[in-house]
Each structure stands twice: as C-alpha cells, then as structure tokens.
C-alpha cells in the first residue's frame, strides 16, 4: 500500500429531517450568503426548510441570496457572487444544491480574498490550504453524484474560452454538509441516472487501475460498485423509497470523499476527457463518462486487464474463462449497466457535431502539457485520440 495522509474535516450530517440542524451549524453573528441554482429548491420545499431553520437564529437582513448558478457552473456567474460577498461583508456561505452549486461555492469561497486575476485560480490551479484565505461555507446537498459535499475539489467552466477546469485544496472542504436522502424525490429521472453513473465512475477511476496490495481499499471500492449496481436501476424509478435513496446518497458520497483513493493508484483520464465533452457540447457530466469510460478500458486493455478481471470476478461474478476473457466480459457488463441506467454510450448519440472532437481534445491536452495521463502515465495523446475516436 502507498503511504498516505487522510484528512477530512467535513461534519457530515445525514438523514431525514436534518436540514433543521442548520440553526446550530451555521455560525451565528455573521452575515450569510445562500447560493443556489436554477430554482429547483423553491419547488421541492428545500428552500422553505432552509429558511425555517435559519429563521430561529438569523435576522432576515443578515441573509443574502444568490441564485442562478448553472449546471457546470460558470466562472463569469460566480464572480458576481464574489462581488456581493466583498461588498456586503459576508462571513459564511451556505450552498443549497447539487454538485454545480457546491462546486461554484467552493470557487466563490476561494476567489473572495484572492489577489490578482481570479481566473488564474483555475488556469494555474492554485491550491488553497490556509483556512484564513477562504470564506467558510457549508452545504445542503440536493443531488447525490459528485461527492462534492465531502471533498475539497471543484470544477468550474470559463465560458469565454470553453475551458472546464478544476480547483481545490484542503481549505476548501465544506465545514458541514447536510445530506437528507428524501430530497432526491424531486429529481428528474435523468439526474438520478446521472448521479448513479457519476458515482460509479468515481469508484472506477480509483479502482480500475492495476492489481496492488491495498486489499481493504479494493474491497471497499467493490462494495460501493456492487451497491450501486444493486440499487441504481430501482432508485431511478422509486426515489421516494428511503432504503434505496439513503444507500444511493451514501454510496455517492463514499465514492469521492477521498477514502478509497488513499494508498492506491488512480486514473482520472475518463474525467479529464469527459470534461472536454461537456465544455464542447454541454453533455451532462455523467453522460460524458459513460461515453468515454468503456472505450478507455478497451484502449488501455493491456494495462488494466488484470484489474478488469478482478472486477469481473468480484463485482459481476464472472468466473469462467481466461484473464482476457473475463476482462472483456466485464467491460461488456459495464456497458450493459450503463445502458440500463439510461446512458447513450456513443458520442454520436449525444451530439451530431462530433467529427473534430479528437483533434480538438488532443490539441488542448498537448497545449496544457497533459501528455501522460492515467495510473501508469501511459495514456499519451495518441491513446487519447484512439479513445475519443472509438467513442464516436
């Protein structure tokens, strides 16, 4: 097992009716900004629950609101919130929404005190390690998928240049996250499907590498995959079933709260290529992963086949055949699962205008110096091209 440090300071508050705990979790005696997205929180009662919880502790004029954070949050929009915080001396931000609102809030938190061009936070990937450099924030999660509620990373798009870039650092963990599984009841089926597939792929990025000696990490990763396979198809049909919803939400958090990444190699190339598809065509994040993931496993078959076979045996219970045969069947099973989860796994099924995608992505990665991706740094630009072209 590789050496590691495990640091996760998020106060993770899970379960039915937990939003009312906001009154104890949000620091008193400070002005707060509530950030949200396109308005789903007004329709499903989450906003009312948040306001009711805060009303016991806060004067109305100490609560400011900022809505309109888009799916795949835009730098240009977030900078408007940064201005509000600076002008109104806000001391705490409460993100109420899915991964986009939470990620956007992480960027806002980092940008307020940043001296210089805030776009550099993304372009130069500035790491935020000092709590005093950022504005503290908490979250009320409404969409299980990204794990953003319990990690310190975020993804923000610069609209002007169509660049989808990451930021992060240990100062960007939420102070707390309230995760009430009943909030998923109002999610459209498409978003439920996205959540399952995003969480599934997060595990795959950290698990489907090469065989190693971190036995417990493998078993935890496999158990998250098995849970998502077991409940995924049902939870999208019955999100109000609390057993399904609660296991889904917790699986999505566990998939990317840092735990399964410790001590093991990780890949993340599916995400890096997928982010470009969202930047180019606005394809939902999870759907880009469903397009790229299986083709990456095929192109990188020699590197990954032993782990694919382990995955095939343990997760899909494929026992017959050689390592190669089991590995190939495991990829087929994965694609079948993605189809069951409503994914269209070809780029051409998601956009008509895809002919130059591989050229664009390879050029961009070369410009950024991303010439050696993956757990063995052997996903070269040629391999990226092969993966993207196989995805057409």
Binding residues for ligand NZQ, rule: CB under 6 A, are 37-41, 44, 71-72, 97-101, 103, 142-143, 145-148, 151, 153-155, 183-184, 186-187, 191, 194, 198, 256, 271, 285
**Residue 296 contact, options ligand NZQ, Zn ion, none, Cβ 5-8 Å cut-off depending on partner type:** none
Query: Which SS3 state, helix, strand or coil, does residue 168 take?
Result: strand
**Residue 380 contact, options Zn ion, ligand NZQ, none, Cβ 5-8 Å cut-off depending on partner type:** none
CB nearer to ligand NZQ: give 155 or 388: 155
Residue 198 binding Zn ion, by CB under 5 A? yes
- Of 384, 387, 325, 330, residue with least CA distance to 204: 330
Buried b (16+ CB within 10 A) or exposed e, 179-213: bbbbbbebbeeebbbbbbbbbbbbbbbbbbbeeee
Residue 103 binding Zn ion, by CB under 5 A? no
Return the range that interacts with Zn ion (CB under 5 A); candidates 131-139, 153-161, 194-202, 212-220. Answer: 194-202
CB nearer to ligand NZQ: give 35 or 303: 35
| Rounded distance between C-alpha atoms, residue 392 and residue 390, angstroms | 6
Number of residues that bind Zn ion (CB under 5 A): 1
C-alpha distances (whole Å) from 299 to each of 93, 94, 326, 379, 384 are 43, 42, 16, 9, 9
Strand pairing category for 153-158 and 163-168: antiparallel
Query: Which SS3 state, helix, strand or coil, does residue 345 take?
Result: coil
| Rounded distance between C-alpha atoms, residue 217 and residue 373, angstroms | 22
| Rounded distance between C-alpha atoms, residue 226 and residue 255, angstroms | 12
Beta bridge partners of 97: 141
CB nearer to ligand NZQ: give 111 or 327: 111
Report in angstroms how near the CB of residue 186 gets to ligand NZQ at its nearest: 4
Which residue has its beta carbon closest to Zn ion?
A: 198
**Residue 97 contact, options ligand NZQ, Zn ion, none, Cβ 5-8 Å cut-off depending on partner type:** ligand NZQ
Sorted by sequence, the CB contacts under 8 Å of residue 331 that are 6+ apart come out as 294, 297, 298, 308
CB nearer to Zn ion: give 198 or 222: 198
Return the range that interacts with Zn ion (CB under 5 A); candidates 150-158, 164-172, 198-206, 220-228. Answer: 198-206
**Residue 191 contact, options Zn ion, ligand NZQ, none, Cβ 5-8 Å cut-off depending on partner type:** ligand NZQ
CB nearer to ligand NZQ: give 193 or 310: 193
**Residue 45 contact, options Zn ion, ligand NZQ, none, Cβ 5-8 Å cut-off depending on partner type:** none
272-276 contact pairs (CB < 8 A, 24+): 272/365, 272/370, 272/373, 273/361, 273/384, 273/387, 273/388, 275/155, 275/164, 276/164, 276/357, 276/360, 276/361, 276/364
Report in angstroms how near the CB of residue 75 gets to Zn ion at its nearest: 19
CB nearer to Zn ion: give 122 or 289: 289
Strands of the sheet with 32-35, listed across from one edge: 11-14, 176-179, 137-141, 92-97, 32-35, 63-66
Report in angstroms how near the CB of residue 294 gets to ligand NZQ at its nearest: 17
Return the range that interacts with Zn ion (CB under 5 A); candidates 63-71, 84-92, 195-203, 261-269. Answer: 195-203
CB nearer to ligand NZQ: give 155 or 341: 155
CB nearer to ligand NZQ: give 184 or 338: 184
Residues that bind Zn ion (CB under 5 A): 198
């Amino acid at each position: 097992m590789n050496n590691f440090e495990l640091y996760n300071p998020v106060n993770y508050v899970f379960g039915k009716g937990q939003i009312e705990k906001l009154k104890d979790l949000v620091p008193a005696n400070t002005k707060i900004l509530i950030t949200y997205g396109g308005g789903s929180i007004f329709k499903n009662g989450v906003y009312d629950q948040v306001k009711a919880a805060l009303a016991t502790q806060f004067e109305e004029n100490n609560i400011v609101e900022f809505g309109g954070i888009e799916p795949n949050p835009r730098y240009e929009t977030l900078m408007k919130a940064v201005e509000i915080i600076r002008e109104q001396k806000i001391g705490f931000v409460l993100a109420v929404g899915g991964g986009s609102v939470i990620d956007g809030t992480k960027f806002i938190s980092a940008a307020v005190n940043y001296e210089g061009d805030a776009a550099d936070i993304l372009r130069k990937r500035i790491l935020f390690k000092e709590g005093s450099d950022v504005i503290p924030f908490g979250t009320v999660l409404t969409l299980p998928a990204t794990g953003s509620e319990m990690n310190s990373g975020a993804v923000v798009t610069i609209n002007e240049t169509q660049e989808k870039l990451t930021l992060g650092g240990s100062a960007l963990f939420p102070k707390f996250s309230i995760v009430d599984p009943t909030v998923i009841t109002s999610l459209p089926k498409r978003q439920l499907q996205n959540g399952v597939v995003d969480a599934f792929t997060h595990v795959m990025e950290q698990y489907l590498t090469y065989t190693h000696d971190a036995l417990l990490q493998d078993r935890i990763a496999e158990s998250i995959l098995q849970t998502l396979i077991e409940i995924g198809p049902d939870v999208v049909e019955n999100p109000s079933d609390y057993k399904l919803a609660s296991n889904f939400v917790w699986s999505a958090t566990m998939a990317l709260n840092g735990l399964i990444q410790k001590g093991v190699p990780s890949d993340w190339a599916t995400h890096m290529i997928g982010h470009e598809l969202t930047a180019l065509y606005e394809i939902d994040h999870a759907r880009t992963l469903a397009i790229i993931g299986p083709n990456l496993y095929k192109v990188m078959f020699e590197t990954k086949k032993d782990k694919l076979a382990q995955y095939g045996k343990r997760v899909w219970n494929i026992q017959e055949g050689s390592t190669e045969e089991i590995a190939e069947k495991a990829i087929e099973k994965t694609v079948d699962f993605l189809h069951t989860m409503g994914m269209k796994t070809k780029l051409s099924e998601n956009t008509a205008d895809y002919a130059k995608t591989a050229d664009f992505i390879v050029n961009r990665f070369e410009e950024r110096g991303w010439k050696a991706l993956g757990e063995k740094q052997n996903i070269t630009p040629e391999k990226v091209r092969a993966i993207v072209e196989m995805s057409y």
